[in-house]
Amino acid sequence: MDQELVPLRELTGLTEQARSERAMRYIDKVGNFSHRVDRTGVYSRDISQPGRSANVFINRYDAGVWIFEQNFRPIKNFDYYASDVAKYQYLQVAQRVESSAVMPRKIIRQGVVNQITLNMTSGKQGDELFSAFFQTPNGKSTQRIMDNFSLVAENVEMEELASHANYVVWLKESF
């Protein structure tokens, strides 16, 4: 029996683990998402609402570095986050390629165009950038991804470009 999709705002009573498990089931269900894994990365798209702009997630999980290229979630009333999709994608890649099961030393948020993130981090570096980044939408998403894999940030670097920025989150080595 199919479960009816419950908007995120109604899920506040669930524990984080229960919410995450529900999100993973939703992402895995045929008809909700399409996924493509190839040598260039993982492409995931929410296809549950044809005719509307879709939530799209394009990322790479290489040994030592994860690159988050596009993570657009214009439709926010679903019970999953970009971090849930990242976890699902990583698990798919890890099943196919043994070397991908290596935890990263850095996470790159490539081509960030979120204006709040850009405004809050513009011109900052060092500890000031580190603090500001994790208060932004992209930084909060990155933190949830790190939490999913018990990763801890050590440093954040930024490359500011004309219309976007790239962020490199260096991670503490895990033993």
4-39: per-residue pLDDT in tens? 555 554 545 668 888 899 999 999 999 999 999 988
Find all residues with CB under 8 Å of 127, minimum gap 6, and list them: none
Which whole number is the average pLDDT over 75-94? Answer: 90
Q: Is the dihedral of CA 61, 66, 69, 70 positive or negative?
A: positive
Kind of pairing between the strands at 106-112 and 33-38: unpaired
Please choose, from the candidates 22, 162, 21, 41, the residue with its C-alpha nearest in 3D space to the C-alpha of residue 92. Answer: 41
Q: How confident is the model at residue 96 (pLDDT cuts 50, 70, 90)?
A: confident
Q: Indicate whether 151 pLDDT > 90.
A: yes
Q: Indicate whether 1 pLDDT > 50.
A: no
pTM for this one? 0.85
CATH T-level fold of 8-171:
Aminopeptidase (3.40.630)
Q: How confident is the model at residue 67 (pLDDT cuts 50, 70, 90)?
A: very high
3-state secondary structure of 127: helix
Residue count of the chain: 175
Instruction: Round the CA-based radius of gyration of the chain to a whole number and report it.
Output: 16
Q: What is the pLDDT of residue 98?
A: 62
Q: What is the pLDDT of residue 175?
A: 53
